Amino acid sequence: MGRKYFGTDGVRGKVGESPITPEFVMHLGYAAGQVLVADRGSLPPNQHPTVLIGKDTRISGYMLEAALEAGFTAAGVNVLMTGPMPTPAVAYLTRALRLQAGVVISASHNPFEDNGIKFFSASGQKLPDSVEEAIEARLDFPMVTVEARQLGRARRIEDAAARYIEFCKSTYPNHLDLRGMRIVVDCAHGATYHVAPHVLHELGAEVIAIGNEPNGFNINDECGATYTKTLADAVRTHRADVGIALDGDGDRLMMADAQGRIYDGDQLVYVIARHRIQTGYMKGGVVGTLMTNLGTEHALGRAQVPFERAKVGDRYVMERLLANGWTLGGETSGHILCLDKHTTGDGIVSALQVLRALRETGESLDTITADLETYPQVMINVPIVKGFKLDASPAVSASVAEAESVLNGTGRVVLRASGTEPLIRVMVEGRDADQVRRTAETIAEVVKQAAMGG
C-alpha cells in the first residue's frame, strides 16, 4: 500500500493547508496512538504507552503540539513534552527513557511558514514504511475518544536539554578536549540554539554562537546549514579556527575552515572515514546517495573503502547501513549517520566526529581533504504541478540520454522528485564546470516544458 501523507521525512507542508492543520494533526496523533496501543509490546496491561513530543522554534509549533497532545491522549497514550529540542535529541531521549515512540514537530530546513510531523520508534530510529502505512490506514476512521478512565496524561520534562548535552559530550573521547579552539556555531535560530553552544563550551572551546536568538519566524532565514555564507563571514570576522552550521532541527551539518571555505556532507563524511581508516576503527564501508559527489566515491575507492549509493533520504541511507552492517553514511546536504554514536543523523554529534579527526591528526579541514577532488555539480530545482510523472515524458528521457552521451562516462545525470516539495531536482556533475552547467540548464528547461504540458 502506498503512503498518502508520509513523504521521505514524515508529514510536511505549509501551515494552515492540508495536511498541516490542527484538525488533521490531532487526528494523526490519535491514529498513531491507536497503532501504539495495539502494539503495546511488553507493557503491563494497565500501563499506558508513552510518547515524547519535541519541536523546533517555529511559531506554529505551539498549535501543533497542542493538537498532537489532544490526539494522543484521546487514544489513551501518555505524552511527555520537551519544548524546543533537536530532532536527534528526541530520538535519543525516546530510547533513553524507554518510551514507545518519539514525535518531532519540525519542517527541518524549510522556512517558518512550513511545518511537519515525524516519528521515531522506541529504538530511536525513524519508523519503517509499514508502520507509517498502518497509521495512515487508521486515518480513514473517525476519532472515538477512549473512556475517561483510559485517557492519557500529559506533562513537560524540564531536564531534556541537559540530558542531551551530556549525551553529545559522551560521543567525544574522554582523553580529548577542544581547549584552544575558537569555534563559530550557527544554530539557524532553530532547535539547537540552547544546546550546541553549551556542548562545545563544556568540551573546552571558545564559542561564538550566532543564529541563537529564535523568535518563531527567523528559523533558517539566511543562516544555518542551508545558507552558509553567514557562517563563512562570521568565521573570517572572528578569526575562528572552524565553523559549524546546523539546520533548524539540528540533523544537518555544514562546516567551514579558518578561511571560510565551506565543507558539505560528502566532504565531512570523507573526513570521518579517512580518520577512522587511519586509527583502525573503520567498520565496513560508506553509504552515500544518488547525489553524493563522484569525487567522494573515487577518493574512498583509492582508500579501498567500499561505497554504495542509496536513494536520497537519510532513512534510505540508514536501511543500507543496517543491511550491510556498516556504521558511516550521509548525504551531500549534511545528514551524516554515525551509527556507532547515535541511531539517527545528528549535526552536533557529527561535528564532534570531525573535530575529533582534526584534533587527533593535527590537520585542518583543508589539509585533511587535500586528496579529495570534488567534481563540479549543478542542481536545478524545477517546480512542477501535482501529479506530474517524470518517467512518462519522452522528451525528458531523450534529453537525459543525449546528455549522458555527451558526458561519455566522465559525469552523471540524476533526476528525481523531491520527497518534501513539488519539485523535480535536476543534477548534473562532471569534470568540466561549463559543460555541467549548460547540460543541467538544458535538461531543466525540458523538464519545465514537460511539466507545463508543452
| Catalytic machinery residues | 108
Residue recorded with cell 513537560: 156
CA angle 136, 335, 411 (to 5 degrees): 105
Determine the 3-state secondary structure of 38 from DSSP.
helix
Instruction: Tell me the C-alpha distance between 66 and 62, whole Å.
Output: 6
The grid coordinates of residue 40 equal: 503495546
Please, what is the end-to-end C-alpha distance for the chain in angstroms? 32
Instruction: Tell me the C-alpha distance between 214 and 346, whole Å.
Output: 20
How do strand 377-383 and strand 242-246 relate by DSSP bridges? unpaired
| Burial classification of residue 5, based on how many CB atoms lie within 10 Å of its CB (0-12 exposed, 13-18 middle, 19 or more buried) | middle
Determine the 3-state secondary structure of 316 from DSSP.
helix
Q: Quick one: DSSP state of residue 4?
A: S
Which one, of 211, 220, 12, lies nearest residue 105 by Cα?
12
Question: In whole angstroms, how far apart are CA 11 and each of 21, 135, 260, 447?
Answer: 11, 12, 35, 26
How do strand 377-383 and strand 423-430 relate by DSSP bridges? antiparallel
Determine the 3-state secondary structure of 230 from DSSP.
helix
- Report the half-sphere exposure of 328 (CA within 13 A, side-chain side): 26
Q: Quick one: DSSP state of residue 375?
A: P
Residue recorded with cell 507545463: 452
Question: In whole angstroms, how far apart are CA 256 and each of 148, 229, 232, 270, 361?
Answer: 55, 10, 6, 15, 18
How do strand 114-121 and strand 253-256 relate by DSSP bridges? unpaired
How do strand 50-55 and strand 78-84 relate by DSSP bridges? parallel
Instruction: Tell me the C-alpha distance between 28 and 32, whole Å.
Output: 6
Determine the 3-state secondary structure of 45 from DSSP.
coil
Determine the 3-state secondary structure of 335 from DSSP.
strand
Instruction: Tell me the C-alpha distance between 415 and 152, whole Å.
Output: 46
